[in-house]
Structure 1
Amino acid sequence: MAELIIIGMGGHSKVVTDIAILNGYKVLGYLDDNEPVGEGRELYLGKIETLPRWVRDGVGFVIAIGNNLVRKAIVEKYKGLNLDYVKLVHPVAIIGSKVEILGGSVVMPGAIINADARIGEHVIVNTAAAVDHDCVVGDFVHIAQGAVLAGGVKVESCAVVDVGVRVQRGCVVVNGEKRMLCSK
Protein backbone atom coordinates (compact mmCIF):
# COMPACT_ATOMS: atom_id res chain seq x y z
CA MET A 1 0.00 0.00 0.00
CA ALA A 2 1.43 3.37 -1.04
CA GLU A 3 1.74 6.01 1.64
CA LEU A 4 0.46 9.57 1.34
CA ILE A 5 0.77 12.82 3.26
CA ILE A 6 -1.97 15.36 2.65
CA ILE A 7 -1.12 19.06 2.83
CA GLY A 8 -4.17 20.88 4.16
CA MET A 9 -6.68 19.76 6.73
CA GLY A 10 -9.85 21.72 5.89
CA GLY A 11 -13.09 20.75 4.23
CA HIS A 12 -11.51 20.07 0.82
CA SER A 13 -9.10 17.59 2.40
CA LYS A 14 -12.01 15.46 3.62
CA VAL A 15 -12.98 14.59 0.05
CA VAL A 16 -9.34 14.24 -1.01
CA THR A 17 -8.83 11.80 1.88
CA ASP A 18 -11.80 9.70 0.72
CA ILE A 19 -10.40 9.59 -2.82
CA ALA A 20 -6.92 8.66 -1.58
CA ILE A 21 -8.26 5.76 0.47
CA LEU A 22 -10.44 4.57 -2.44
CA ASN A 23 -7.26 4.57 -4.56
CA GLY A 24 -5.46 2.33 -2.07
CA TYR A 25 -3.32 4.92 -0.28
CA LYS A 26 -2.51 4.76 3.41
CA VAL A 27 -2.86 8.33 4.70
CA LEU A 28 0.04 8.89 7.09
CA GLY A 29 -1.27 12.25 8.20
CA TYR A 30 -1.78 15.93 7.47
CA LEU A 31 0.31 19.08 7.38
CA ASP A 32 -1.55 22.33 8.07
CA ASP A 33 -0.64 25.70 9.54
CA ASN A 34 -3.75 25.57 11.74
CA GLU A 35 -3.37 22.92 14.41
CA PRO A 36 -6.65 21.03 14.75
CA VAL A 37 -8.57 20.52 17.96
CA GLY A 38 -10.72 17.50 18.63
CA GLU A 39 -11.36 14.85 15.99
CA GLY A 40 -8.53 14.21 13.51
CA ARG A 41 -5.82 15.55 15.79
CA GLU A 42 -4.11 12.15 15.99
CA LEU A 43 -3.14 12.40 12.29
CA TYR A 44 -1.84 15.97 12.50
CA LEU A 45 1.87 15.92 11.62
CA GLY A 46 2.64 19.61 12.04
CA LYS A 47 2.80 22.90 10.18
CA ILE A 48 3.46 22.95 6.43
CA GLU A 49 6.97 24.29 7.07
CA THR A 50 7.85 20.86 8.56
CA LEU A 51 7.26 19.25 5.16
CA PRO A 52 11.00 18.61 4.46
CA ARG A 53 11.25 16.24 7.42
CA TRP A 54 8.52 14.01 5.94
CA VAL A 55 10.12 13.48 2.51
CA ARG A 56 11.31 9.93 1.93
CA ASP A 57 11.11 7.23 -0.72
CA GLY A 58 7.68 5.72 -1.13
CA VAL A 59 5.76 8.64 0.34
CA GLY A 60 3.55 10.67 -1.98
CA PHE A 61 2.05 14.10 -1.37
CA VAL A 62 -1.07 15.94 -2.45
CA ILE A 63 -2.10 19.50 -1.64
CA ALA A 64 -5.71 19.52 -0.46
CA ILE A 65 -6.17 23.29 -0.30
CA GLY A 66 -8.82 24.89 -2.48
CA ASN A 67 -7.06 28.24 -2.98
CA ASN A 68 -5.13 28.08 -6.28
CA LEU A 69 -2.51 30.64 -5.27
CA VAL A 70 -1.80 28.91 -1.97
CA ARG A 71 -1.28 25.57 -3.76
CA LYS A 72 1.08 27.28 -6.19
CA ALA A 73 3.05 29.00 -3.40
CA ILE A 74 3.56 25.68 -1.59
CA VAL A 75 4.76 23.94 -4.76
CA GLU A 76 7.16 26.79 -5.55
CA LYS A 77 8.52 26.97 -2.00
CA TYR A 78 9.34 23.26 -1.87
CA LYS A 79 10.19 22.50 -5.51
CA GLY A 80 13.83 21.76 -4.62
CA LEU A 81 12.67 18.74 -2.64
CA ASN A 82 11.41 16.94 -5.78
CA LEU A 83 8.26 15.79 -4.01
CA ASP A 84 6.24 12.94 -5.48
CA TYR A 85 2.91 14.69 -6.08
CA VAL A 86 0.30 12.05 -6.82
CA LYS A 87 -2.80 12.47 -8.93
CA LEU A 88 -6.04 11.24 -7.43
CA VAL A 89 -9.09 10.29 -9.47
CA HIS A 90 -12.30 9.21 -7.75
CA PRO A 91 -13.47 5.78 -9.00
CA VAL A 92 -16.84 7.18 -10.14
CA ALA A 93 -15.26 9.95 -12.22
CA ILE A 94 -15.44 9.29 -15.96
CA ILE A 95 -12.15 9.67 -17.81
CA GLY A 96 -12.10 9.43 -21.62
CA SER A 97 -9.42 8.13 -23.94
CA LYS A 98 -6.08 9.91 -24.30
CA VAL A 99 -6.78 12.16 -21.29
CA GLU A 100 -3.65 13.46 -19.59
CA ILE A 101 -3.86 14.33 -15.89
CA LEU A 102 -0.65 15.63 -14.35
CA GLY A 103 0.70 15.18 -10.82
CA GLY A 104 -0.94 16.82 -7.85
CA SER A 105 -4.32 17.04 -9.57
CA VAL A 106 -7.51 15.73 -7.99
CA VAL A 107 -10.64 14.63 -9.88
CA MET A 108 -13.70 14.47 -7.64
CA PRO A 109 -16.74 12.15 -7.70
CA GLY A 110 -18.98 12.45 -10.73
CA ALA A 111 -16.54 14.57 -12.72
CA ILE A 112 -16.27 13.87 -16.45
CA ILE A 113 -13.14 14.48 -18.51
CA ASN A 114 -13.56 13.58 -22.17
CA ALA A 115 -11.17 12.46 -24.90
CA ASP A 116 -7.90 14.26 -25.57
CA ALA A 117 -8.29 16.72 -22.69
CA ARG A 118 -5.20 17.79 -20.76
CA ILE A 119 -5.33 18.62 -17.06
CA GLY A 120 -2.26 20.43 -15.71
CA GLU A 121 -0.52 20.06 -12.36
CA HIS A 122 -2.29 20.66 -9.03
CA VAL A 123 -5.72 21.14 -10.64
CA ILE A 124 -9.03 20.51 -8.90
CA VAL A 125 -11.76 19.12 -11.15
CA ASN A 126 -14.52 19.27 -8.57
CA THR A 127 -17.69 17.27 -8.02
CA ALA A 128 -19.83 16.81 -11.16
CA ALA A 129 -17.70 19.17 -13.27
CA ALA A 130 -17.44 18.38 -16.99
CA VAL A 131 -14.37 18.99 -19.14
CA ASP A 132 -15.14 18.11 -22.74
CA HIS A 133 -12.87 16.90 -25.53
CA ASP A 134 -9.67 18.75 -26.44
CA CYS A 135 -9.77 21.13 -23.48
CA VAL A 136 -6.46 22.35 -22.06
CA VAL A 137 -6.54 23.17 -18.36
CA GLY A 138 -3.46 24.96 -17.01
CA ASP A 139 -1.70 24.37 -13.71
CA PHE A 140 -3.27 25.35 -10.36
CA VAL A 141 -6.78 25.71 -11.82
CA HIS A 142 -10.05 25.00 -10.02
CA ILE A 143 -12.97 23.77 -12.10
CA ALA A 144 -15.67 24.10 -9.43
CA GLN A 145 -18.71 21.91 -8.75
CA GLY A 146 -21.02 21.52 -11.72
CA ALA A 147 -18.97 23.74 -14.06
CA VAL A 148 -19.00 22.73 -17.72
CA LEU A 149 -16.28 23.35 -20.31
CA ALA A 150 -17.36 22.79 -23.93
CA GLY A 151 -14.92 21.20 -26.35
CA GLY A 152 -11.65 22.97 -27.04
CA VAL A 153 -11.77 25.42 -24.13
CA LYS A 154 -8.48 26.65 -22.71
CA VAL A 155 -8.24 27.54 -19.02
CA GLU A 156 -5.12 29.50 -18.14
CA SER A 157 -3.07 28.72 -15.04
CA CYS A 158 -4.48 29.77 -11.65
CA ALA A 159 -7.95 30.53 -13.06
CA VAL A 160 -11.20 29.55 -11.37
CA VAL A 161 -14.24 28.36 -13.29
CA ASP A 162 -16.87 28.95 -10.62
CA VAL A 163 -19.75 26.74 -9.50
CA GLY A 164 -22.18 25.96 -12.32
CA VAL A 165 -20.46 28.18 -14.91
CA ARG A 166 -20.77 27.03 -18.53
CA VAL A 167 -17.94 27.98 -20.85
CA GLN A 168 -18.71 27.94 -24.58
CA ARG A 169 -16.54 26.34 -27.22
CA GLY A 170 -13.74 28.62 -28.43
CA CYS A 171 -13.24 30.48 -25.16
CA VAL A 172 -10.21 31.07 -22.99
CA VAL A 173 -10.75 31.41 -19.25
CA VAL A 174 -8.48 33.91 -17.52
CA ASN A 175 -8.92 34.52 -13.78
CA GLY A 176 -12.52 33.40 -13.95
CA GLU A 177 -13.46 35.63 -16.90
CA LYS A 178 -14.32 34.42 -20.40
CA ARG A 179 -12.54 35.86 -23.42
CA MET A 180 -13.34 34.65 -26.92
CA LEU A 181 -10.54 33.20 -29.00
CA CYS A 182 -12.42 33.79 -32.20
CA SER A 183 -15.53 35.61 -33.32
CA LYS A 184 -18.61 33.66 -34.26
Structure 2
Amino acid sequence: MEKLIIVGAGGLARMIYSWLTGFTDCSWEPIGFISDSLNILDGYNYDLPIISSIQDYYPEVDHVLVMAIADPKSKLAIAEKLEKRGAKFITLIHSTAIIGKNVEIGKGSVICPRAILTCDIQMGSFVMINLCATIGHDVNIGNGCTINSHSDVTGCAKLGTGVFLGSHAVITPNIKVKGFAKIGAGSVVIKQVRADTTVFGVPAKQV
Protein backbone atom coordinates (compact mmCIF):
# COMPACT_ATOMS: atom_id res chain seq x y z
CA MET A 1 0.00 0.00 0.00
CA GLU A 2 1.30 3.45 -0.89
CA LYS A 3 1.97 5.85 1.96
CA LEU A 4 0.18 9.20 1.91
CA ILE A 5 1.96 12.42 2.84
CA ILE A 6 -0.10 15.58 3.43
CA VAL A 7 1.72 18.70 2.23
CA GLY A 8 1.02 21.38 4.82
CA ALA A 9 -0.29 21.07 8.36
CA GLY A 10 -2.55 24.10 8.75
CA GLY A 11 -6.34 24.21 8.84
CA LEU A 12 -6.87 22.92 5.30
CA ALA A 13 -4.48 20.02 5.88
CA ARG A 14 -6.24 19.07 9.10
CA MET A 15 -9.63 19.21 7.36
CA ILE A 16 -8.46 16.99 4.51
CA TYR A 17 -7.06 14.46 6.95
CA SER A 18 -10.35 14.50 8.88
CA TRP A 19 -12.27 13.73 5.67
CA LEU A 20 -9.81 11.24 4.26
CA THR A 21 -11.99 8.16 4.63
CA GLY A 22 -14.68 9.87 2.54
CA PHE A 23 -12.52 10.28 -0.55
CA THR A 24 -13.27 7.99 -3.46
CA ASP A 25 -9.88 6.28 -3.40
CA CYS A 26 -8.73 5.43 0.12
CA SER A 27 -6.10 2.90 -0.88
CA TRP A 28 -3.31 4.88 0.79
CA GLU A 29 -1.97 4.74 4.32
CA PRO A 30 -1.61 8.26 5.80
CA ILE A 31 1.70 8.51 7.65
CA GLY A 32 2.19 12.21 8.32
CA PHE A 33 2.32 15.86 7.38
CA ILE A 34 5.22 17.87 6.01
CA SER A 35 5.42 21.52 7.00
CA ASP A 36 8.08 24.18 7.48
CA SER A 37 6.20 25.18 10.65
CA LEU A 38 7.31 22.21 12.72
CA ASN A 39 5.25 23.15 15.80
CA ILE A 40 2.03 24.04 13.98
CA LEU A 41 0.17 21.01 15.39
CA ASP A 42 1.03 21.82 19.01
CA GLY A 43 -2.19 21.94 21.01
CA TYR A 44 -4.13 19.79 18.52
CA ASN A 45 -5.00 16.14 19.04
CA TYR A 46 -3.90 14.39 15.84
CA ASP A 47 -2.43 10.92 15.51
CA LEU A 48 -0.28 11.86 12.51
CA PRO A 49 3.05 13.58 13.13
CA ILE A 50 4.92 16.16 11.12
CA ILE A 51 7.54 13.89 9.63
CA SER A 52 9.71 16.53 7.97
CA SER A 53 9.92 20.12 6.91
CA ILE A 54 8.98 20.71 3.28
CA GLN A 55 12.46 22.10 2.70
CA ASP A 56 14.12 18.86 3.86
CA TYR A 57 11.62 16.33 2.52
CA TYR A 58 12.61 13.91 -0.24
CA PRO A 59 9.99 11.37 -1.36
CA GLU A 60 10.47 7.65 -1.06
CA VAL A 61 9.38 5.22 -3.77
CA ASP A 62 6.11 4.30 -2.04
CA HIS A 63 5.11 7.86 -1.11
CA VAL A 64 2.22 9.77 -2.69
CA LEU A 65 1.40 13.36 -1.78
CA VAL A 66 -1.77 15.40 -1.43
CA MET A 67 -1.52 19.18 -1.67
CA ALA A 68 -3.13 20.86 1.35
CA ILE A 69 -1.95 24.47 1.05
CA ALA A 70 -4.51 27.12 0.10
CA ASP A 71 -2.32 30.05 -0.99
CA PRO A 72 -1.92 29.66 -4.77
CA LYS A 73 1.61 31.03 -5.16
CA SER A 74 2.92 29.01 -2.26
CA LYS A 75 1.35 25.74 -3.33
CA LEU A 76 2.50 26.04 -6.95
CA ALA A 77 6.06 26.83 -5.89
CA ILE A 78 6.10 23.95 -3.39
CA ALA A 79 4.58 21.53 -5.90
CA GLU A 80 7.23 22.43 -8.47
CA LYS A 81 10.02 21.96 -5.94
CA LEU A 82 8.72 18.58 -4.77
CA GLU A 83 8.03 17.27 -8.26
CA LYS A 84 11.63 18.05 -9.21
CA ARG A 85 12.58 15.71 -6.35
CA GLY A 86 10.41 12.98 -7.81
CA ALA A 87 7.23 13.47 -5.77
CA LYS A 88 3.98 12.00 -7.11
CA PHE A 89 0.83 14.00 -6.34
CA ILE A 90 -2.61 12.43 -6.27
CA THR A 91 -6.06 13.93 -6.83
CA LEU A 92 -8.67 13.52 -4.10
CA ILE A 93 -12.42 13.69 -4.82
CA HIS A 94 -14.73 13.30 -1.84
CA SER A 95 -17.53 10.78 -2.21
CA THR A 96 -20.19 13.45 -1.55
CA ALA A 97 -18.99 15.70 -4.39
CA ILE A 98 -21.12 15.75 -7.56
CA ILE A 99 -19.10 15.51 -10.77
CA GLY A 100 -20.98 15.88 -14.05
CA LYS A 101 -20.07 14.82 -17.58
CA ASN A 102 -16.94 15.96 -19.41
CA VAL A 103 -15.18 17.33 -16.33
CA GLU A 104 -11.38 17.31 -16.55
CA ILE A 105 -9.57 17.54 -13.20
CA GLY A 106 -5.81 18.05 -13.15
CA LYS A 107 -3.29 16.26 -10.96
CA GLY A 108 -2.83 17.24 -7.34
CA SER A 109 -6.31 18.71 -7.06
CA VAL A 110 -8.70 18.32 -4.11
CA ILE A 111 -12.49 18.30 -4.44
CA CYS A 112 -13.98 18.68 -0.96
CA PRO A 113 -17.29 17.44 0.48
CA ARG A 114 -20.51 18.53 -1.26
CA ALA A 115 -18.76 20.48 -4.02
CA ILE A 116 -20.61 20.47 -7.34
CA LEU A 117 -18.88 20.43 -10.74
CA THR A 118 -21.66 20.53 -13.29
CA CYS A 119 -20.43 19.66 -16.81
CA ASP A 120 -17.91 20.48 -19.54
CA ILE A 121 -15.35 21.91 -17.14
CA GLN A 122 -11.60 22.12 -17.65
CA MET A 123 -9.60 22.32 -14.45
CA GLY A 124 -5.82 22.55 -14.18
CA SER A 125 -3.47 20.99 -11.66
CA PHE A 126 -3.34 21.72 -7.92
CA VAL A 127 -6.82 23.24 -7.81
CA MET A 128 -8.78 23.15 -4.56
CA ILE A 129 -12.59 23.25 -4.60
CA ASN A 130 -13.73 23.64 -1.01
CA LEU A 131 -16.95 22.71 0.79
CA CYS A 132 -20.21 23.28 -1.10
CA ALA A 133 -18.64 25.36 -3.88
CA THR A 134 -20.33 25.17 -7.28
CA ILE A 135 -18.61 25.27 -10.67
CA GLY A 136 -20.96 25.92 -13.59
CA HIS A 137 -20.94 24.58 -17.14
CA ASP A 138 -18.11 25.40 -19.55
CA VAL A 139 -15.89 26.92 -16.86
CA ASN A 140 -12.11 26.94 -17.25
CA ILE A 141 -10.00 26.97 -14.06
CA GLY A 142 -6.24 27.46 -14.26
CA ASN A 143 -3.49 25.71 -12.33
CA GLY A 144 -3.26 26.41 -8.62
CA CYS A 145 -6.63 28.09 -8.11
CA THR A 146 -8.30 27.96 -4.70
CA ILE A 147 -12.10 28.14 -4.66
CA ASN A 148 -13.28 28.47 -1.08
CA SER A 149 -16.47 27.29 0.59
CA HIS A 150 -19.88 28.15 -0.89
CA SER A 151 -18.38 30.06 -3.83
CA ASP A 152 -20.18 30.00 -7.18
CA VAL A 153 -18.28 30.14 -10.45
CA THR A 154 -21.02 30.39 -13.05
CA GLY A 155 -21.27 29.31 -16.68
CA CYS A 156 -18.45 30.06 -19.12
CA ALA A 157 -16.35 31.96 -16.57
CA LYS A 158 -12.58 31.66 -16.89
CA LEU A 159 -10.11 31.78 -14.00
CA GLY A 160 -6.43 32.20 -14.77
CA THR A 161 -3.53 30.58 -12.96
CA GLY A 162 -3.52 30.97 -9.20
CA VAL A 163 -6.81 32.79 -8.67
CA PHE A 164 -8.07 32.82 -5.06
CA LEU A 165 -11.78 33.06 -4.24
CA GLY A 166 -12.81 33.81 -0.67
CA SER A 167 -15.85 32.03 0.75
CA HIS A 168 -19.25 32.86 -0.78
CA ALA A 169 -17.67 34.71 -3.72
CA VAL A 170 -19.63 34.74 -6.99
CA ILE A 171 -18.17 34.95 -10.49
CA THR A 172 -21.00 35.83 -12.89
CA PRO A 173 -21.33 34.24 -16.36
CA ASN A 174 -18.65 34.75 -19.03
CA ILE A 175 -16.36 36.74 -16.73
CA LYS A 176 -12.56 36.39 -16.91
CA VAL A 177 -10.47 36.61 -13.76
CA LYS A 178 -6.80 36.82 -14.65
CA GLY A 179 -3.81 35.18 -12.99
CA PHE A 180 -3.23 35.45 -9.24
CA ALA A 181 -6.15 37.80 -8.67
CA LYS A 182 -7.84 37.59 -5.26
CA ILE A 183 -11.61 37.82 -4.84
CA GLY A 184 -12.74 38.81 -1.35
CA ALA A 185 -15.25 36.78 0.63
CA GLY A 186 -18.85 37.49 -0.32
CA SER A 187 -17.91 39.50 -3.41
CA VAL A 188 -19.87 39.45 -6.67
CA VAL A 189 -17.69 39.84 -9.76
CA ILE A 190 -19.53 41.33 -12.74
CA LYS A 191 -16.60 42.48 -14.87
CA GLN A 192 -13.12 41.28 -15.80
CA VAL A 193 -10.53 41.25 -13.03
CA ARG A 194 -6.94 42.12 -13.87
CA ALA A 195 -4.00 39.92 -12.92
CA ASP A 196 -2.41 40.31 -9.48
CA THR A 197 -5.19 42.52 -8.15
CA THR A 198 -7.57 42.19 -5.21
CA VAL A 199 -11.27 42.98 -5.54
CA PHE A 200 -13.96 43.12 -2.91
CA GLY A 201 -17.61 44.04 -2.56
CA VAL A 202 -20.96 43.88 -4.33
CA PRO A 203 -20.25 44.57 -7.09
CA ALA A 204 -16.56 43.77 -6.64
CA LYS A 205 -14.14 46.67 -7.00
CA GLN A 206 -10.35 46.83 -6.80
CA VAL A 207 -8.97 47.56 -3.35
Which segments of 5 or more consecutive residues in structure 1 lack a partner in the other structure? Answer: none
Partner of 1:49: 55
Q: Give yes or no for the alignment of 1:162 onto 2:151.
A: no
Structure having the higher helix fraction is 1
Partner of 2:201: none
Question: Is the 1:137–1:154 Cα contact (8 Å) retained in structure 2?
Answer: yes
> Given residue 29 of structure 1, which amino acid in structure 2 is its aligned partner?
G
Q: Give yes or no for the alignment of 1:4 onto 2:7.
A: no
Question: What is the alpha-carbon distance in structure 1 between the residues aligned to residue 77 and residue 48 of structure 2?
Answer: 27
State the shift of 1:3 in Å. Answer: 2.2
Per-residue Cα deviation, 1:37-75 (whole angstroms, up to 9, x for no partner): 2533752202111221xx233321012111111101102
* Aligned pairs for 1:72-111 within 5 A: 72-111=76-115
SS of residue paired to 1:35: coil
State the shift of 1:180 in Å. Answer: 3.9
Partner of 1:66: 70
- Paired residues in the alignment total 179
Question: What is the alpha-carbon distance in structure 1 between the residues aligned to residue 170 and residue 47 of structure 2?
Answer: 39
Bigger CA drift: 58-67 or 95-104? 58-67
The counterpart of 1:31, out of the listed 27, 31, 34, is 34
Partner of 2:196: none
SS of residue paired to 1:49: coil
TM-score by length of 2: 0.79
Per-residue Cα deviation, 1:141-168 (whole angstroms, up to 9, x for no partner): 0111111011111100111122111111
Question: What is the alpha-carbon distance in structure 2 between the residues aligned to residue 29 and residue 21 of structure 1?
Answer: 15
> Given residue 13 of structure 2, which amino acid in structure 1 is its aligned partner?
S
Question: Is the 1:111–1:129 Cα contact (8 Å) retained in structure 2?
Answer: yes
Q: In the superposition, relative to structure 1, how do residues 168 and 30 fare at CA in structure 2: closer, same or farther (>3 Å)?
A: same
Q: Give yes or no for the alignment of 1:40 onto 2:46.
A: yes
Identity %: 25
> Given residue 86 of structure 1, which amino acid in structure 2 is its aligned partner?
I
Question: Is the 2:106–2:125 Cα contact (8 Å) retained in structure 1?
Answer: yes
Over aligned residues, Cα RMSD in angstroms?
A: 1.9
Bigger CA drift: 158-167 or 91-100? 158-167
**Bigger relative contact order (CA 8 A; separation at least 6):** 1
State the shift of 1:82 in Å. Answer: 3.2
State the shift of 1:114 in Å. Answer: 1.1
TM-score by length of 1: 0.89
